[in-house]
Structure 1
Amino acid sequence: MFCPEAVLLTSPAEPNIKGEKKSNTITVTYSAMADQKYKTARQKPEYVYLDQLNAESKTYIVRVVVAEKGRDTLSSKKTVRFQTLLLRDEKGNRMCGTLFGDQIEAFEEALQYLGEYDISAAPIKFIDEKWRTELDQFPYQMAFGSRTVIQPVHPELGPILPNYQPIASIPRTVDPDEKYDIVGVVLYVEEEPRKIEARDGKRESFVREIVVTDESCDQPLTISLWNDLTAPKFFDKLPNWAEAFQVIGFRALKPYTRRGFSMNSGMSTRIIYKPEGDRARELFDWANLFHQKILDRQTRVLEVKYPGENKKIVSIAELRRKKPSNTIQEELLWIEVTIQTAGNEPTFHCRSVILALLVIRKNAYALRGQPLSLRLAMAQELWHSPLSTMTQKDCLGEVQLKFMP
């Protein structure tokens, strides 16, 4: 478990950045002090890789990309604000960096998510094994002080903005290194966080869902926000989601395919309540023009999230017409089944019932490769009772189909 107190600097410091950079909110002009440091140094810094750094490294330059940028977090003891950065060099080496307190605001523009930088004179701190996390490839972390020099490799590109993509364009595969930015119209917001316990029972997490849509496909997208992103401060800005179709953006979401296609939050995820850019404006215009279409999609989502008492019974033919475009994630459908055998004997072995259900599962696999879960009440108990039998009346039952497109 990471302990920010273990690597806390005694005094936060402003970044020392070469070059000149302007934005629509701040204008920062940098002096030639960094160049003067190079002239007066005893030894000229040389480019190194992250795996060459240790606590004794003083004179060096390392070129890295900010592969992950964590959120402003309060330590477990509620005494320290910190932000974790994951830096990666061109060889794929990784090293964490940590900002504390006022440094978080001071370095906000200096170290942008996915930005590439030359960094020098950043103290390298040894991290005891008990404080390391799965992010730490080496027993060292980078700190940032008043003498740290940060130089953008491509300052001419300006701020790194979200690259919003249509929902339909996101690959339905999982690559742990790939993350995507999307903008969508909100259809549903989960009211309260849900607690998820790990299988070993030693750890628990919290999750909260938001369902969005856009003009690129009819299939709504479920976004699962985890742990600190379930806090009220992130959801208080969506108070009227059921009445007003709000357009919001998400940065750095990860595809998830275990329960159908959805997306999960990660270390660098941000919720952008007022997205900007061409993609966002296009979606605003679409939402205003096609209000009824969005309302129909929201109705379908709410019917799944808040099912009524009446079960929706469908036929095999209707199942075959199901496609990802007309199926909502976790939609529940029911079919009626009757198990028959040759002869007049009105009793049947329970395994015959379950084998028949497997045949139904195969025949009803209408989504062409999409996951389909089929469940019969007490089926597992029946399977483990090979000598028991059930009457024909018992065999007139219902099978629940749970779709996860």
Structure 2
Amino acid sequence: MRCALFGDQIEAYEEVLKPSSQYEISKAPITAVDDQYKFNLEELPYQMTHQTIIQRLNPESGPIKPNQEHAMTISTWNDLTRKPCDAMNNWAEKFNVVGFTALKTRHTRGFTLNTTMSTRIIMNLKGARADMLREWCKLYQHVLLDRQERILNVRYPSTDKKVVTIAELRRKKATNATPDEIAWIKVIIPKADLQRVNAYISCLGCGKRTHLALGTRFPCISCKKGDTVAVHKVTFKFEAVDDTGTMSFTTFSDDTEKHFRRTAT
């Protein structure tokens, strides 16, 4: 079976996956894969998606230590928004290790996780992996504090506008850094080229492309919604230019509609 890593996963698993080593792959949700992502049509039409756990089988190799931390948004619903979440209100500076079970993925405006009817929040998480994470948090609390500050600056930006160049943005991208504030780029955007507009039909919830007719109601295997509807979505790719260089950007439905002053339909 072929396996593919995307984006940040490549760096995160760089020190984990080694040639000729043996691994246990568990808790891997299996979903259908679009034909456009296959290398050839003889492949099985399935893929292992997010939440997959990979663990070395060689006991002498030791535990896999986290070498990279990523922020993840988890939205809680219904009863979980009360007592379980209230217990975490004062944890902002403690970086406690918490367990969540039975979360579902959502791909609207980025990758996030949502609770379900089966989700439990485990406050007193036990086990070797949880202990290892606690030790890591103690050793690298300065890393977590720095990461926390950058995330808060992005989610709750100041009203100050900082104009940055494309070269500065490129450096931030190369170091995987999060901008400290809203970046205003003074650029020249070429005349809008309709050839770069990509209009398609997708799931209303997650934006996953579908070949169903517009307005069709269907269960989405991507965001796991039992009843969604096929709607129009649109993206626009363009090159932005300033005195320091050129960079490619993509606008999604809302911003694309504003740019062209017309709906995706």
TM-score normalized by the length of structure 2: 0.49
Larger Rg: 1
Structure having the higher strand fraction is 1
